[in-house]
Amino acid sequence: MTNEKLHVLFLCTGNSCRSQMAEYWCRHLHPESIEAYSAGTDPQGVNENAVRVMAEAGVSMEGAGSHHVDEFVDKKLDLVVTVCDQAHENCPIFPRGVKTIHVGFEDPPRLARGAATEEEALEHYRRVRDEIRDFIASFPNPLRPPGKSS
């Protein structure tokens, strides 16, 4: 068994909401075993509603920033997780040996567009936040790179 952390990049189009929530859930739930990052193919900044609902769940996103995926092409990565369909379809090619998987989540800002109230809009963010948390809670075992033991 190795004590080396698993390096995981969560990739979305805007790197403003879903990939950010995945990164910070990972940092919160697996600080000893996973080095988490997030990026986008077209970074849009950090979504304040995502920050708000993560804080409600006890997860600080202090220091969050929106990064372009090109910043990570030469970085040591074990896994890239695309969390939106557009990022999955436009995912750059990473060096050999970097596993890429797609686990899509609905887009809270798109879902919230038709909300009648702010509270109704935040419910979309909370639901997706919780779906991402459930996915991240299963790390790292289902996603351990080949050759690494449990």
Rounded CA separation 132/92 (Å): 23
Please tell me which residue, 100 or 97, carries the higher pLDDT value: 100
* Single-letter amino acid code for the residue at 103: V
Residues 5-33: pLDDT tens digits? Answer: 999 999 998 888 999 999 999 999 999 99
CATH number at residue 20: 3.40.50.2300
Give the pLDDT confidence score for residue 17 in this predicted structure: 94
pLDDT band at 98 (very low <50, low <70, confident <90, very high): confident
Q: Which of 5-9, 32-36, 95-99 has the lowest mean pLDDT?
A: 95-99
The closest alpha carbon to 103, from 138, 54, 72, belongs to 138
Active site residues: 12, 84, 91
pTM: 0.87
Residue type, 7: H
pLDDT at 2: 54
Domain that holds residue 87: 6-142
149 assigned to some structural domain: no
Distance between CA 44 and CA 138 in Å, rounded? 28
Does any domain span residue 1? no
Mean pLDDT for 58-67 is 94
Give the per-residue pLDDT at 144: 44
* CA–CA–CA angle 19, 92, 129 (5° rounding): 10
Average pLDDT score over residue span 117-125: 96
In a domain, 136, yes or no: yes
Segment among 54-63, 74-83, 91-100, 113-122 with least mean pLDDT = 91-100
Query: Which SS3 state, helix, strand or coil, does residue 107 take?
Result: coil
> What's the number of domains the chain is made of?
1
Task: Report if residue 150 sits inside a domain.
Answer: no
